Amino acid sequence: MSTAMSTMMSTAMSEPLVDMRDVTVRFGGARPVHAVNGIDLRLNAGETLSILGESGSGKSVTLKTLLRILPEQRTAIGGTIRIAGVDVTALSGRALADHRGGVVSMIFQDPMLALDPVYTIGEQIAETVVRHEGVSRAEGMARALEMLTRVRIPSPERRLKSYPHEMSGGMRQRAMIALALVCRPKLLLADEPTTALDATVQIQILLLLRELQREFGMGMIFVTHDIGVAVEISDRVAVMYAGQFVETGAVRDIIRDPKHPYTRGLLAANLHGAHKGARLDAIPGAPPALDALPDGCPFAPRCPIAEAQCSEGLPPARVFGPQRQVRCLKA
C-alpha cells in the first residue's frame, strides 16, 4: 500500500497518527538490555507529546524504534507500531527509506549527528528533497533556501553555502530543523534538541518548533529531562521510568496533580519555587539496571510509600480519565 493511500485510509478511519501498543525493545548480546518494557501511545496529527525521564529510562530507544534506526540483528521489537496507518515494524526497502526522513524525521541534541561536516547546508537539504521527492537539484536548492528562511537563519542565501562548523550552536540547531522538516514529515521526533543550549537560545528554538508544528500540522514527540521544557512545548506528557510510561496525561494535570511518586519526585527536583534552606525531598538511590525484566514495580526500591504488594507484580496502568494513566498501586 502506498503512503498516500494509507494516509487517506487512516483519515477515513480516524486512526491516530501514531499508535503503539505494548511495545517492547530488547537488545541481545552478552548483556541483554530490556530498554522498553510495554509502552502504549496514541498521538494525533498536530499534537505534541513530551517523553520526560532521566538518563537510561528508554527515551531515545523509543524514538529510534519509531524511526526504525536501531541495529536490526541485535534488537528484538515486540508489540505493534503503526504510523499514519502503516505497520512500521514490517517496513523494508524503498518503503523504509521513505519512512525515514520522509514520513518521520528526527532532530538531536548534537546537530552533528544529522549534519554532514563535508557538505554545505544547502547541498545537504537539497539532496534530501531530491532523494525523497525526485525533484531537480535546482528545485532542491530553492526548497532549501525557503526552509532556511522559514527557520529564520539570518542571510539564508549566504548560509546555503556554509559548512556546519562555520555556524554557531543555535544556528546549527536551526539548520538541522530545516533539514528535518524540508520534506514535510507527518511526525517529528525530537531527542533533547535544546539540552546543550543556553536557556536564552533554548527558548528561541522551542518557540520556533511550536510555530512550525502548528503551521505544518505535524505530530511531535519531544524527549526531555526538563519538566519546564515539557510545559513549554507539549500538550501531553508521558513520564518514563525503567522503560515504561509510569504516568501519562495532559501537561496541566501532570503539573498540578502528579499521581505517581516518581513524577512527584521529579517535580520537586526541578526546584521551581523551592524554599532556600528547606531540605529537598530527593528521591533516594538510582534507577534499576535493565538487564532483567522488572517483576514488580520498578520504582519500589526508591519509593517512599512502597508496600510489600508493590513488588509482587507489575502495577497495571490505571485509568484516571481520558488520556490519563498511572502505573502505581497507590495512586
Partner 1 sequence: MSAAQGMSAAPGGSLAAGPLLSVHGLTKHFPIRSGLLGRGSVVVRAVDGISFDVTEGETLGIVGESGCGKSTTARLLVDLITPDSGEIRLANRRLGADMTVRDLRRDVQMVFQDSYASLNPRLTMEDAIAFGPMINGMAERQATNLAHDLLSRVGLEPRRFAGRYPHELSGGQRQRVNIARALAFSPKVVILDEAVSALDKSVEAQVLNLLSDLKSELGLTYIFISHDLNVVRYMSDRVMVMYLGEVAEIGPVDSLYSNPAHPYTRALLAAMPSMDPDRRTEEAPLSGDPPNPINPPSGCRFHTRCAHAAPVCSSAIPNLSRLRAERHLAGCHMLVPGSGHPEAAAEARP
Ligand X SMILES: Nc1ncnc2c1ncn2[C@@H]1O[C@H](COP(=O)(O)OP(=O)(O)O)[C@@H](O)[C@H]1O
Give min distance, CB of 262 to partner 1, in A: 8
Largest pairwise CA distance in the chain: 67
Name the nearest CA neighbour of 116 among 168, 181, 75, 176.
176
Distance CA 141, CA 303 (A): 54
Site string (216-255) toward partner 1, x via CB under 8 A: ---------xxxxx-xx-----------------xxx--x
Q: Write the interaction track for ligand X spanning residues 32-71; mark x where CB under 6 A is met and - where it is not.
A: -x-x-----------------x-xxxxxxx---------x
Spatial strand order in the sheet of 33-43: 33-43, 18-27, 75-83, 86-87
* Shortest spacing between CB 112 and ligand X, in angstroms: 18
Question: How far is Cα of residue 9 from the mean position of the Cα atoms in its chain?
Answer: 25
Q: Tell me if 213 contacts Mg ion by CB under 5 A.
A: no
Q: Kindly state the number of chain residues that form the binding site for partner 1, as judged by CB under 8 A.
A: 44
> Taking the complex as a whole, how short is the minimal distance between the CB of residue 251 and ligand X, in angstroms?
19
Residue 194 engages Mg ion in binding (rule: CB under 5 A): no
Cβ proximity to partner 1: between 86 and 227 the closer is 227
Strand partners, 224: 52
CB under 5 to 8 A by kind: which of ligand SF4, partner 1, Mg ion, none does 310 bind? ligand SF4
Query: Which partner in ligand SF4, partner 1, ligand X, none is near 251 (CB below 5 to 8 A by kind)?
Result: partner 1
Query: Which residues contact ligand SF4 (rule: CB under 6 A)?
Result: 260-261, 297, 299-300, 303, 305-306, 310, 315, 328-330
Is position 60 an interface residue for Mg ion (rule: CB under 5 A)? yes
Residue 159 binding ligand X, by CB under 6 A: no
Picked from partner 1, Mg ion, ligand SF4, none, the partner binding residue 330 (CB below 5 to 8 A depending on kind) is ligand SF4
| Shorter beta-carbon distance to ligand X: residue 60 or 263 | 60
327 φ/ψ angles, rounded to the nearest 5 degrees? -95, 75
Among partner 1, Mg ion, ligand SF4, none, residue 284 binds (CB under 5-8 Å by kind): partner 1
When asked if residue 55 is in the footprint of partner 1 (CB under 8 A), the reply is yes
Taking the complex as a whole, the smallest distance from the CB of residue 134 to Mg ion amounts, in Å, to: 34
Smallest separation, CB 59 to Mg ion (Å): 5
Report the partner that residue 60 touches, choosing among ligand X, ligand SF4, partner 1, none (CB closer than 5 to 8 A by kind): ligand X
